[in-house]
Amino acid sequence: MRLEPLDLGQTLGCGQTFRWRSLPDGSWQGPLGNQLVCLTRVGPKLQIKAQPDDPHVRQNVFEHLRAADDVRSIQRELAKRDPVIATGMKELEGLRIVKMDEWECLISFTLATYANIPRISKMIESLARNFGRRITDDVFSFPTLDDLKRASLSDLSRCGLGYRAKYIRSMCKELSEDRITELKRLRYEELRAELKELPGVGDKVADCVALFGFGNLEAFPIDVWIERALSRLYGQKGSYRRLAGFAHEKFGEYAGYAQEYLYYNERAHAPNGTCLFSEQ
DNA sequence: GCCCAGGAGTGTG
DNA sequence: CACACTCATGGG
């Protein structure tokens, strides 16, 4: 278990997860479960603080940052498979795939359809403020399934969800904690198929949830940015199924990491591509 | 005002 | 299978 390599900005600010914020001193702060966690780089070490303080924080942070992954080994494997990715990962050596809570991830990426990252953050913060539990004066936990079951359609609409409100509403009605527990046992392909049965979950959202929520590193979510990257760098175009097949063949069991390198680079490449960290 | 956004659902050819 | 259209709205 080690958190090396780790770059907090590359990991927490790259659009995998939407609630972490960078502070002026370079620390990153965000709600994890029912605590507000603050991470700070101190030389080679990672300082972890939380309020309310809880002895489990360290374990939760290690799980969130997937400390059990041997990221260098994953990078070597990907570089061996493809020179393009080897180049693309060069300045992203501290990027780690995170492990979000499954439920939070499902809701977050269902909201992430056809919206930009600043807006996705706002929708999530609004849900937390209205249906989560207060942690500090202005930080709220992500609402649990039971918390959100209490929200009516108009409640959800008032959080600025737009047409996504009805997806979230039906999702709350359909799901149970037991169902989510069942989903954790499934392998990638089955999980993906089951997730797609949920209202508002298509190919891309299912892959995001499989990757960032359920920890399936082979998942390769394809959004507009990845489409551009696959076209620009590999000359690959076509349907989701076709592109996913290409990615699976090319990148194998760690395709999720390859996807993050491509995503980050493609956004940095765009004409106005510096907007990843621009919120607040 | 304009364009676009980490898409999905539905209908049609 | 592919494409076209709609969805509801805010950020740049």
Query: In the numeric block, which tokens belong to residue A95?
Result: 């990027």
- Contact present, A108 and A270 (Cβ < 8 Å): no
* Exposure string over A214-241, b if 16+ CB within 10 A, otherwise e: bbbbbbbbbbebbbbbbeebeebeeeee
The span from the CA of A207 to the CA of A221, in Å, is 5
Nearest to A219 by CA among A204, A239, A200, A197: A204
- Nearest protein residue by Cα to C1' of nucleotide C9: A162
How confident is the model over A42-53, as a mean pLDDT? 94
Predicted confidence (pLDDT) per residue in A174-210, tens digit: 999 999 999 999 999 999 999 999 999 999 999 999 9
- Contact present, A226 and A123 (Cβ < 8 Å): no
pLDDT at A280 over 60: no
Predicted confidence (pLDDT) per residue in A213-231, tens digit: 999 999 999 999 999 999 9
Nearest to A216 by CA among A181, A267, A246, A252: A252
pLDDT band at A257 (very low <50, low <70, confident <90, very high): very high
Asked if A204 is an active-site residue, the reply is yes
Query: CA A159, A160, A166, A170 torsion: positive or negative?
Result: negative
Burial category of A39 from C-beta neighbours within 10 Å (exposed 0-12, middle 13-18, buried 19 and up): buried
Calculate the CA A193 to chain-centre distance. Answer: 19
Which nucleotide is closest, CA of A113 to its C1'? Answer: B7
pLDDT at A80 over 50: yes
Report protein residues in contact with nucleic acid strand C, where contact means CB under 7 Å. Answer: A 114-116, 118-119, 122, 157, 160, 162-163, 238-239, 241-242, 272, 275, 278-279
Q: Per DSSP, what are the bridge partners of residue A51?
A: A36
Report protein residues in contact with nucleic acid strand B, where contact means CB under 7 Å. Answer: A 14-16, 109, 112-117, 119-120, 163, 196, 198-206, 208, 221-226, 259-260, 263
- Is the pTM higher than 0.85? The answer reads yes
